[in-house]
């Protein structure tokens, strides 16, 4: 049973310098309040692994100097354009980038889910994505005839970090349709979660809720953080704060503007 | 309608959607990625014409998306051959239909960085009919050789590849792609554009027939269907596009609710969810 943390910082204690952190795509439940707490604490040398893409969360952590490496199929602010601090860090060679493709990340996480060392995946052959991934292998399909196929080593992050609508007192989560969050929790060594609020009865006792539940067995710590995905959306609960995201895109276009954003919205923001 | 003057009262988006709908043709399942309102419009137009077929999966949509098993499901579905048509684009696209979604210049020291390859390095191989769509038709985007191959246009014969590109649609014209020759040919030039303009703005060599027709305008029936039936269905997923192109003012994205048998059950699932919305 996970720790029901009294504060964000307590829940995030397992995310130290050098941790590899698995993060969800922007519409699935990003732990933004927790991300701001990590920046306030000054964590460094994180490896971010996106499931399978990242946006504001990665851009903030990169801009704040918390990140050493990123593995993702894409990093952008979606309809608000390029992720400016990510782009600046890549062109300045300030972070290591492991370019991937969406199903490769899903498949490599599924390998971890199953406890097997690798997963084969179609496609990729002849791409520069593959050419720049010395950790991936091409073998001849042992069941085929001169049929090359890519093998991806299992992706085993230290910590999965995400935000979900509900947790019960036993530490079970309600993730609804966001099945990628279950994949993340299954694949990572440990999982740290923030939730909108606590649910008073056991989620597995209600068949409607149980269909979208994830067992607390997988979790290390849970903290309550109302509106903890803001300014990103929490599916079925609140939409993206589009005005705020537009302001972020505008400010983060320059290092000075990004520093102002951090001062205004991250460092001065009261811990939830 | 023979003899009638060509319909000129349509928007570029409507023309492009009509072109793409023609390329989709017969299909069981058309999937549309994020940030692709014109391909989504085209796919939903095909569905409206086909009385509900093909299945259309619009990523980011609630109503037009049957996936229930996370991000993997689209890719697993495609890997099985259950997706017939998909759309891809590129920061650069070259004459062999290689696409680049990663960077310009040297990969290690790029002059410009794009978001990344998304699912292209896989879907380009396994979806039988991939339609390339790039509105900006310039020598900056349509290049002789891409700086980074997110996904190659063609593959050697022994590489498993049931899929690949069939066409490239731009703001100026339609190209068809010949996989055996790894080469584009100019199919038609959109109304108001010229072959000379296409030649001047394309960085790669392509086959040029003696006669290049003008891209046919959407029929009045197609325009009516798009405007009255398809655009309102697209609006919840692409509100800005629907407002700009079709003047449809939709409810904002806050109108998300858990589908359920009755409102009381929704309340039980998410007590007070509305109260937290700004």
Convert the pLDDT of each residue in A12-30 to its tens digit: 999 999 999 999 999 999 9
> Taking CB atoms and an 8 Å cutoff, what residues of chain B touch A127?
117, 121, 149-152
- Number of structural domains (chain A) is 2
Residues A86 and A130 in one domain: no
Mean of pLDDT values over B208-216: 98
| pLDDT over 70 percentage in chain A | 99
- Structure-block tokens of residue B276: 């937290």
Beta carbons of A101 and B107 less than 8 Å apart: no
- Whether residue A88 is contained in a domain is answered as yes
Of B102, B119, B155, the CB nearest to A126: B155
What Rg value do the Cα atoms of chain A yield, rounded?
A: 19
In this structure, are A20 and A60 located in the same domain? Answer: yes
Residue B92 near residue B100, CB atoms below 8 Å: yes
Can you tell me whether residue B228 is helix, strand or coil?
A: helix
Say yes or no: B97 contacts chain A, CB-CB below 8 A. no
Q: Is B264 exposed, middle or buried (0-12, 13-18, 19+ CB in 10 A)?
A: exposed
Q: Does A82 contact B123 at a Cβ distance shorter than 8 Å?
A: no
Q: Are residues A182 and A135 in the same domain?
A: no
The pair phi, psi for residue A251, each rounded to 5°, is: -70, -45
Cβ separation A75–B269 shorter than 8 A: no
For residue B106, give every residue at least 6 positions away whose Cβ sits within 8 Å of its Cβ, in sequence order, or none. Answer: B147
- ipTM greater than 0.85: yes
Identify the DSSP state of B215: P
Token pair listed for A124: 């990729």
Q: What is the mean pLDDT of chain B?
A: 89
CA separation, residue A12 to residues A38, A183, A220, B55, B217 (Å)? 8, 20, 10, 43, 58
**Alpha helices, H only, A116-191:** 128-131, 179-187
d(C-alpha A229, C-alpha A28), whole Å:
9
Per-residue pLDDT at A209 exceeds 50: yes
pLDDT-based confidence at B8, cuts 50/70/90?
Answer: low
What pLDDT is stored for residue B252 in this prediction? 52
Span of A187-201, B44-58, B163-177, B252-266 with lowest mean pLDDT: B252-266
User: Is the pLDDT confidence value at B34 over 90?
Assistant: no
> Are the beta carbons of B122 and A101 separated by less than 8 Å?
yes
* Cβ separation A122–B122 shorter than 8 A: yes
Q: What does chain B come to in residues?
A: 278
A254 falls within a domain: yes
| A88 lies in the same domain as A141 | no
Instruction: Quote the pLDDT of residue B261.
Output: 32
| Token pair of A49 as six digits | 């692994």
> In this structure, is residue A62 part of a structural domain?
yes
Q: Which candidate from A75, A178, A179 shows the least CB-CB separation from B116?
A: A75
**B276 and A226: CB-CB below 8 Å?**
yes
Residue A60 falls inside a structural domain = yes
- In the DSSP assignment, the letter for residue A18 is T
A122 contacts B126? CB cut-off 8 A: yes
The structural domains of chain B, with segments of one domain joined by +, span 12-276
Could you report the per-residue pLDDT of B140-198, keeping only the tens digit for each?
A: 999 999 999 999 999 999 999 999 999 999 999 999 999 999 999 999 999 999 999 99
| Cα dihedral A161, A166, A172, A174 sign | negative
- 0.90 exceeded by pTM: yes
**CB contact (8 A) between residue B71 and residue A227:** no
Same domain, A70 and A186: yes
Question: What pLDDT was estimated at residue A2?
Answer: 86
What number of other Cβ atoms are within 10 A of residue B208's Cβ?
12
A68 and A14 part of one domain? yes
Domain region containing A226: 3-101+156-267
pLDDT tens-place string over residues A165-187: 999 999 999 999 999 999 999 99
Mean pLDDT of B110-130: 97
Query: Same domain for A94 and A185?
Result: yes
Put simply, whether A246 touches B (Cβ < 8 Å) is: no
CA dihedral A181, A187, A193, A195 (to 10 degrees): 20
Neighbours of A244 (CB within 10 A): 14
Chain B positions in Cβ-Cβ contact with residue A182 (cut-off 8 Å)? 70
Whether residue A248 is found in the same domain as residue A190: yes
Of B87, B14, B26, B77, nearest in space to B53 by CA: B26
Residue A24 in contact with partner chain B when CB distance is under 8 A: no
Domain membership of residue A106 (yes or no) is: no
Whether B171 and chain A come into contact, CB under 8 Å, resolves to no
Whether A128 has a pLDDT exceeding 80, the answer reads yes
B70 touches chain A (CB under 8 A): yes
Taking a C-beta distance cutoff of 8 angstroms, is the pair A23, A161 a contact? Answer: yes
Q: Report CB contact under 8 Å: A104, B121.
A: yes
User: Phi and psi at residue B132, in whole multiples of 5°?
Assistant: -85, 135
- pLDDT score of B95: 98
Cα–Cα distance for residue pair B10/B219, rounded to 1 Å = 10
CATH number for the domain that contains residue A209: 3.40.1080.10
A7 inside domain: yes
Contact B195, B189 (CB under 8 A): yes
State the smallest CA–CA distance between residue B18 and chain A in angstroms. Answer: 24
β pairing state of A137-140 and A96-99: unpaired
Residues of A in contact with B72 (CB under 8 A): 103, 106-107, 110, 180, 183
Section A87-93 average pLDDT: 97
- Judged by CB atoms closer than 8 Å, whether chains meet at A236 and B71 is answered as no
**Average pLDDT score over residue span A203-222:** 96
Question: Closest by alpha carbon to A79, among A266, A239, A262?
Answer: A239
A243 touches chain B (CB under 8 A): no
Residue A111 included in any domain: no
Residues whose CB falls within 8 Å of the CB of residue A14, separated by 6 or more in sequence, listed in order: A159, A190, A192, A220, A221
pLDDT band for position B263 (50/70/90)? Answer: very low
Q: Is residue A178 within 8 angstroms of chain B, CB to CB?
A: yes
Instruction: Let me know: does A59 contact A77? Beta carbons within 8 Å.
Output: yes
pLDDT given for residue B93 in this prediction: 98
Residues of B with CB below 8 A from A99's CB? 102, 116-117
Q: Which CATH architecture has domain B12-276?
A: 3-Layer(aba) Sandwich (3.40)
Indicate if A128 and A237 belong to the same structural domain.
no
Q: Contact A127/B152, CB-based, under 8 Å?
A: yes
């Amino acid at each position: 049973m996970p720790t029901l943390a009294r504060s964000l910082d307590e829940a995030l204690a397992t995310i130290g310098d050098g941790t590899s952190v698995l993060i969800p795509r922007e519409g699935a439940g990003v732990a933004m309040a927790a991300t701001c707490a990590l920046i306030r604490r000054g964590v460094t040398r994180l490896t971010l692994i996106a499931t399978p893409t990242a946006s504001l969360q990665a851009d903030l952590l990169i801009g704040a100097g918390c990140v050493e490496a990123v593995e993702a199929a894409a990093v952008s602010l979606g309809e608000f354009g390029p992720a400016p601090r990510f782009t600046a860090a890549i062109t300045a060679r300030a972070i290591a980038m492991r370019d991937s493709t969406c199903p490769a990340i899903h498949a490599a996480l599924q390998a971890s889910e199953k406890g097997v060392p690798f997963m084969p995946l179609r496609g990729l052959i002849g791409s520069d994505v593959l050419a720049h991934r010395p950790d991936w292998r091409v073998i001849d399909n042992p069941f085929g005839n001169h049929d090359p196929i890519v093998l991806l080593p299992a992706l085993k992050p230290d910590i999965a970090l995400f935000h979900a609508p509900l947790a019960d007192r036993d530490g079970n989560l309600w993730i609804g349709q966001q099945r990628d969050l279950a994949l993340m929790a299954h694949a990572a060594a440990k999982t740290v979660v923030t939730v909108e609020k606590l649910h008073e009865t056991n989620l597995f006792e209600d068949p409607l809720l149980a269909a979208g539940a994830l067992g607390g067995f997988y979790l290390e710590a849970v903290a309550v953080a109302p509106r903890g995905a803001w300014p990103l959306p929490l599916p079925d609960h609140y939409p993206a704060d589009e005005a705020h995201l537009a302001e972020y895109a505008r400010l983060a276009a320059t290092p000075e503007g990004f520093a102002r954003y951090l001062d205004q919205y991250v460092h001065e923001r009261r811990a939830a | 309608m023979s003899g009638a003057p060509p319909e000129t009262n349509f928007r570029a988006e409507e023309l492009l959607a009509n072109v793409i709908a023609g390329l989709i043709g017969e299909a069981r399942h058309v999937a549309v990625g994020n940030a692709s309102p014109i391909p989504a419009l085209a796919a939903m137009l095909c569905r409206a014409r086909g009385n509900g077929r093909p299945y259309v999966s619009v990523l980011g949509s609630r109503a037009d998306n049957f996936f229930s098993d996370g991000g993997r499901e689209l890719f697993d579905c495609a890997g099985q051959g259950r997706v017939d048509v998909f759309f891809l684009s590129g920061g650069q696209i070259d004459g062999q239909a290689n696409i680049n979604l990663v960077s310009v210049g040297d990969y290690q020291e790029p002059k410009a960085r794009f978001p990344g390859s998304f699912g292209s390095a896989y879907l380009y191989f396994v979806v039988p009919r991939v339609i390339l769509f790039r509105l900006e038709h310039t020598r900056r985007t349509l290049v002789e050789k891409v700086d980074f191959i997110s996904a190659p246009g063609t593959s050697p014969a022994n590489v498993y590849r049931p899929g690949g590109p069939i066409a490239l649609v731009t703001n100026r014209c339609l190209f068809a792609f010949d996989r055996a020759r790894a080469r584009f040919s100019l199919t038609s030039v959109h109304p108001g554009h010229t072959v000379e303009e296409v030649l001047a703005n394309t960085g790669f060599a392509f086959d040029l027939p003696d006669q290049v027709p003008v891209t046919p305008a959407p029929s009045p029936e197609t325009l009516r269907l798009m405007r009255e039936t398809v655009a309102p269905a697209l609006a919840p997923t692409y509100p800005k596009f629907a407002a700009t192109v079709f003047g449809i003012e939709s409810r904002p994205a806050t109108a998300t609710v858990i589908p359920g048998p009755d409102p009381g059950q929704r309340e039980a699932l998410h007590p007070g969810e509305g109260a937290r919305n700004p």
